[in-house]
Chains A and B, each alone.
Chain A
């Protein structure tokens, strides 16, 4: 590593006289060396997940009749469109059409996430830590780090697209042909490239890696919501979303290539914008200049709890606003659902299922998904002590009379109470718009009750984070494992017909699906007690281990 990083820039510098791109090749190799595990894991997991699902569909929907049945559901119920895709190819619903309609829109969210996280990691996060300065002091052109990061992340997306295309086509599943597979893989790469461009711009504008990733991540959310809105309505909104462009290729139905071209043009425009912006700022600075703050601390900052809250306050407020908005958006779909509830065929179908209304069963699904998103905040908040520890900031605080247990506990309180607050904000957004659009005020209380019932699952998942922090801090990544598993079970547990115990490992599987199902207190109590035990284990573990410095 050292050899590559130190010797090669000089060579490159000599070769091309030190222009703005000097050292790009070296930087690129350096990035690939740093991510020699991370990159293959991202690409491998995404490819395998996609190919695995594609291979599984024929076992789940064995006959054409099964598939046409599923297609009928789509035609009758716009809410399915909001959750998955635009509903193309329903008149002949092949395995391929199912993939590009139901799975593609979901999978490309992860492709976009991969692009944003990797890009920020190699650009703004490097500047923030000062490591970029170390490199820029060598013979390295001013555009080299940005170019190298673009090449690395863009290349990863193109490779991912190719692997997905080849993987899908070689499955030999009926209707999944080579042409369609290239459109499908192309859609993967297109979304990744657009969000690489988005991240390239946000990293220029904001000063901190977290803010850059957060802004780009919020834009992924906006893209998903626009697509959902478009796919429920006449499809116009979808054309404002890169995810909509991916689905617009209509892979395995009647392939269209121009949406990929549109994505490439937008990605290129974003990259050009990023280069222009990067020449207008200093290394380490954002386009927005920091303002001076108060010279003394307010009274609340002096208490340990006030301090923990202050560190997480900004994040919590933004999360609450975003979750309220997301809830409100889904709530506004409720009256569309109500229109469809009058459809006789749907009513017959639901009577078979268990006599609940279409709106209620749809709301139960939306509530469970939004609750999982709220958990992301709770995990991040519970990870805060670890970030404080590895950055060396914990050392100063723990050298004061604040006990270790109390210090972690203040952050646990923010995570748990903050998570509860987010559920409340989400439920309020969803409930208020749902109640307003249907004129049924009781709906607000039903929905609030339904989403607050997820608090124990959220606490358990965040409690696991605390336990990992206290007991096995080096394996802190495990904190996310349970949430990823829960997402998998919630989305695919039903489709894949997994055995009950596999699904029951997800805490979210034990929450009563209100308002469709009835409330039951026992599982909630059990989950809460388990969450408490995990938190206690984490606190005790942290008391007994070394505090790691930076």
Chain B
């Protein structure tokens, strides 16, 4: 989808050789903190910004050279939805959908009802969450191949978050591709097939959640028959805490097998393990930033 993308705004380097690819039919999570370059990437993919270097391809076309044909096949929800003050929400939905080439009436009704949106209010009077619902309804009611969503639920309450997830799963079942920029990790964990993590204008990690997990640590809490003395000597083991015969530690993905073998020789009484959460994944990549702010990433995880 994108390779070696570069974009600067004056002296600020927003994208620094970004590589990214999204497969047809998948829900792809695009993760990163504020200012990492998520929105800039999306704007380039929409042909709103021109890349300074590198190549962007969207649905097989060049978004800068041929935006109109590509936009026929996608729907976009911006991160910060602004509506026209003198148009009602319903009018804005119809307007955007018609510009996109029409919408499914029954779908529109269903979406408005499920999102609990009052379409008769004027744009100015909507809260942030309601403005986002307007853009979401317009996008989800359109018959398109690709949904590009830039932090679409940042202003939604948890109930609406669930509704949103239902509709994304439905879109996926219909074979639509979804590119979801987010910093809500739980959302990405629930919805996304693959994830790309962006940091300072570069993608630092990309793959399925399972693949990413393999690259990181699993937490283990174990109670053994014989005391576990030399756990710290095992390769790839960190944060050992021992207490009343119980030991807690984290182990790197590639050394998990050795650790479990060592444990089994000591006679395991009970064992709980949990895979790394996405939060831990993120913290690993942003660890050095946190450290400069006086927080130790390892402690947080």
Contacts and interface: CB of A to CB of B under 8 A. Distances in A.
Contacts of A295: 88, 90, 119-120
A546 B50 contact: yes
Contacts of A128: 124
B122 A547 contact: no
Interface stretch (A143-151, A246-254, A335-343, A400-408): A400-408
A400 B91 contact: no
A52 to B, nearest CB: 38
Contacts of B96: 396-397, 400
B81 A396 contact: yes
B71 A401 contact: yes
A297 B85 contact: no
Interface in B35-90: 39, 43, 46, 48-50, 67-69, 71-72, 74-76, 78, 80-88, 90
Interface stretch (A96-104, A165-173, A303-311, A463-471): A303-311
Contacts of B48: 395, 398-399, 546-547, 549
Contacts of B119: 295-296
Contacts of A207: 124
B122 A290 contact: yes
**What is the size category of the interface that chain B forms with chain A?**
35 or more
Contacts of B80: 392, 549-550
B120 A293 contact: yes
Nearest to B108: A296
B39 to A, nearest CB: 7
Interface string A383-400: 000000001110111111
Interface in B150-171: none
Given A295-B120, A395-B78, A302 B49 contact: no
Which of B85, B91, B99, B121 is packed against the most chain A CB atoms within 10 Å? Answer: B99
A292 B86 CA distance: 11
Given A207-B124, A296-B91, A307-B95, A403 B50 contact: no
Interface residues of A, number: 37
Interface in B120-144: 120-122, 124-125, 135
Contacts of A547: 43, 48-49
Contacts of B86: 311, 314
A208 B96 CA distance: 24
A302 B88 contact: no
Contacts of B92: 297
A402 B67 CA distance: 9
B101 interface: yes
Interface in B91-124: 91-96, 98-101, 118-122, 124
B83 A393 contact: yes
B243 to A, nearest CB: 46
Interface in A253-306: 290, 292-297, 301-304
Chain B: interface secondary structure? Answer: mixed
Contacts of A311: 84, 86
A297 B91 CA distance: 4
Contacts of A544: 50
B46 A396 contact: no
A403 B72 CA distance: 11
A546 B39 CA distance: 14
A126 to B, nearest CB: 15
A297 B95 contact: yes
Contacts of A397: 96, 99
A307 B118 CA distance: 22
A547 B120 CA distance: 30
B82 A401 contact: no
Contacts of B49: 546-547
A366 B93 CA distance: 46
B94 A402 contact: no
Interface string B14-53: 0000000000000000000000000100010010111000
Contacts of B135: 396
Nearest to B49: A546
Contact of A399 (B76, B88, B94, B118): B76
Nearest to B121: A292
Contacts of B121: 290, 292-293
Contact of A293 (B71, B76, B122): B122
B58 to A, nearest CB: 12
Interface centre among B78, B80, B93 (most CB of A within 10 A): B78
B188 to A, nearest CB: 22
A310 B88 CA distance: 12
B39 A401 contact: no
A293 B88 contact: yes
Contacts of B78: 392, 395-396, 399
Interface string B196-227: 00000000000000000000000000000000
A98 B76 CA distance: 62
Given A208-B85, A297-B91, A392-B80, 4 more contacts: A296-B90, A297-B90, A392-B82, A397-B96
Interface of B: 39, 43, 46, 48-50, 67-69, 71-72, 74-76, 78, 80-88, 90-96, 98-101, 118-122, 124-125, 135, 148
Closest 6 CB pairs of A and B: A297-B94, A302-B98, A399-B76, A292-B120, A400-B99, A293-B88
10 contacts: A207-B124, A294-B120, A301-B98, A311-B86, A392-B80, A396-B78, A396-B96, A399-B74, A401-B99, A402-B71
